[in-house]
Structure 1
């Protein structure tokens, strides 16, 4: 996991219409199996997390937001459709960032499954990872 507060990672959508930079440490990858994440990504969401103050946009012409609730929104590219962000304004401006949209190497590892009670019936959870029935407040 990048632990250096000055470390920088970059990422983008598939077409390059959205490009961003993350500075500072990131949370390890958590697999979220809740229904909204599965609908947003087409599978479970394997995401890291960052504070809004640590993410900056180099290019965002095609970044579009879908507001699921007044405080929760999903960011995607309106051109290529890439699922890019999950943002909750009530969690210290917390951004979840799908690990697959980050440029390699990331240095991240997958450490946890959450919302396992709503996991899709078409896949098996990795038995080597801890599982939480619902959300966890510490991530």
Structure 2
């Protein structure tokens, strides 16, 4: 089991199942939402349980996905596609040690012009 939360503790969660290797998203929405790139790992929705959710808010990011964040401290915690039974969880919200290692970069075609990707991880345009 892994635990995580937002900065203020208004949203806290547990993951009771496997976590896919995390990826770094460079899309414009993730950069605007997080302030830079967003590292997340995918889990089955059934494996994610909310221990505290009083300040959990959802933002409709597109016609097919929503983003979960804390309405008190503003921490960006989740990304969820409407047609999938998985949810992406912010790596920064997980308690350390996670035991996980970044696996890839996604949406690199949309990356900001103010930084370079300098590691050897696989990169996907989308």
Band the TM-score falls in, shorter-chain normalisation: over 0.9
- Structure 1 residue 58: Cα displacement: 0.4
Deviations 1:59-89 (A, max 9, x none): 0000000012343100000100000100112
TM-score where L is the length of structure 2: 0.95
What corresponds to 2:7 in structure 1?
14
In 1, the alpha carbon distance for the partners of 2:116 and 2:61 equals 28
What corresponds to 1:118 in structure 2?
110
In 1, the alpha carbon distance for the partners of 2:61 and 2:24 equals 20
What corresponds to 2:93 in structure 1?
101
- Structure 1 residue 36: Cα displacement: 1.0
Q: 3-state SS of the aligned residue for 2:121? A: coil
Residue 64 of structure 1, aligned match among 54, 57, 63: 57
TM-score where L is the length of structure 1: 0.87
Q: 3-state SS of the aligned residue for 2:68? A: strand
In 1, the alpha carbon distance for the partners of 2:22 and 2:102 equals 4
Structure 2: runs of 5 or more not aligned: none
What corresponds to 1:44 in structure 2?
37
What corresponds to 2:75 in structure 1?
82
- Please say if 1:29 is aligned against 2:22: yes
- Structure 1 residue 127: Cα displacement: 2.9
Going from structure 1 to structure 2, the CA distance change for 1:116 and 1:70 (only over 3 Å counts) comes to closer
In 2, the alpha carbon distance for the partners of 1:126 and 1:111 equals 14
Quote the RMSD (CA, aligned, Å). 1.0
In 1, the alpha carbon distance for the partners of 2:66 and 2:40 equals 15
In 1, the alpha carbon distance for the partners of 2:63 and 2:44 equals 19
Structure 1: runs of 5 or more not aligned: 1-7, 135-139
